[in-house]
Amino acid sequence: MENEEIIRLLNKDFVSEIEATMVYVRNAFIMSRCDPSRVTEAIAIDEMRHMNWLADLIIKRGGKPTMEHKELDFGGDDLETQLRKQMEYETEAVDRYKKHIEMIDDPEVAGVLKHILDEEKRHRKEFRMRLETIY
């Protein structure tokens, strides 16, 4: 795979991490229960760390991280819809990282993406567990 294509895919991942971070930070502020709020805040910090790793990979390959993102969907203002939206973001991330790992033949990039993938799976599980406790 050409370097420019790797940078393009990494930037797609980078922007998705920006979006998740902003959604999770906002939702953590307004969540009605303490435990889901704290977990969401902690996961937002994980997503920021992912941004750092991805930016490093992009810059090492001669690219620049892009900050352009779509309009954000916070999942509403109630705990259930927020957690459902956050699980959706994590599911999309899991699917995207799996696809990018298969496509990218750079061992360093694939290694970092595999680590992020593992964390995204854990995030989804954390959100699912919180969702199950509100019923």
Prediction pTM value: 0.94
Domain assignment of residue 38, given as a range? 3-133
Sequence letter at residue 7:
I
Of residues 131, 17, 22, 108, the one with CA closest to residue 65: 17
Asked if residue 8 lies in contact with residue 102, where contact means CB atoms within 8 angstroms, the answer is no
In this prediction, residue 15 carries a pLDDT of 98
Specify the CATH number for the domain of residue 115: 1.20.1260.10
Cα separation, 49 vs 18, in Å, equals 10
In this prediction, residue 1 carries a pLDDT of 84
Determine how many CB atoms are found less than 10 A away from the CB of residue 114.
12
Q: Which two tokens stand for residue 12?
A: 């797609």
Instruction: Work out how many domains the chain is built from and give that number.
Output: 1
Asked if residue 20 lies in contact with residue 40, where contact means CB atoms within 8 angstroms, the answer is no
Asked if residue 119 lies in contact with residue 50, where contact means CB atoms within 8 angstroms, the answer is yes
Cα separation, 63 vs 128, in Å, equals 36
In this prediction, residue 134 carries a pLDDT of 85
In this prediction, residue 32 carries a pLDDT of 86
Residues, the chain, total? 135
In this prediction, residue 67 carries a pLDDT of 92
In this prediction, residue 100 carries a pLDDT of 98
Cα separation, 135 vs 50, in Å, equals 32
Which stretches of the chain score pLDDT less than 70? 135
